[in-house]
Structure 1
Amino acid sequence: MKISTEQFRVKPKEEYLDLLNEQIERLSKLQGLLYANNSWSILLIFQAMDAAGKDSMIKHVLSGINPQGCEVYSFKHPSPEELDHDFLWRSMRRLPERGRIGIFNRSYYEEVLIVRVHPEILAAENLPDKLASHKNIWRDRLRSMNDLEGHLTRNGTCILKFFLHISKEEQRKRFLERIDNLEKNWKFNRDDIVERKLWKQYMHAYEECLGATSSKDAPWYVVPADDKKNARLIVAQVVVNLLEELKMSYPETSEEKRRELLAIRDELVK
Structure 2
Amino acid sequence: MKKWLSMMAMIAAAMFSFGGAPAHAEEEAVLDRAPNNADNFASLQHGAQMFVNYCLNCHSATLMRYNRLTDLGISQKEIQDNLLFTTDKIGNTMSIAMRPDDAKAWFGASPPDLSVEARARGRDWLYTYMRSFYRDPTRPTGWNNRVYENVGMPHVLWTLQGIRDARFTTETDERTGEKVKRFVGYTQVTPGALSNVDYDSAVADLVSYLSWMSEPAQQTRKRLGVWVLLFLALLSFLAWRLNAAYWRDIK
> TM-score under structure 1 normalisation?
0.24
- RCO greater where, 1 or 2, for CA within 8 Å and sep 6 or more? 1
Q: Which has the larger radius of gyration?
A: 2
Which has the larger helix fraction?
Answer: 1
